[in-house]
Amino acid sequence: MSHDLFEAARGAMAFAHAPYSNFPVGAAIRAEDGKVYTGANIENISFPQGWCAEPTAISHMIMGGAKKIVEMAVIAEKLPLCPPCGGCRQKIAEFASKETRIYLCDETGVKKTMTMDEMLPFSFETELLG
């Protein structure tokens, strides 16, 4: 199942707007509704006002009516196994469980699988705070 998320993340990366960093990133989420939602990084010359690929995909998921990330793939053109940045990890955690699988990819496919808890241990637990 992770291969289709890899393909979707790689396809999303083609839409990245990264003229300043030249660092395209793509992300793909499978939500609890079974649908796949994608995103790419969108830079803005007024740093840090751009969006990373992961929250762009989360935005598409929310606007599509889904609320929960089941699994997610991330790929960067210039950095194999590029993990989500710190801020994105907390954004993902808002819509994921500790068991949610995060797939880190290179240009050929999924190379590393981590759980959200491995990616961001001791994250804010939204069910306790919200």
| Residues classed as catalytic | 54
- The letter for the amino acid at 125 is E
Are 37 and 70 a contacting pair, CB within 8 Å?
A: no
Question: What CA–CA distance (Å, rounded) separates 104 from 127?
Answer: 26
Burial of 28 (C-beta count, 10 Å sphere; 0-12/13-18/19+): buried
Question: What CA–CA distance (Å, rounded) separates 19 from 41?
Answer: 11
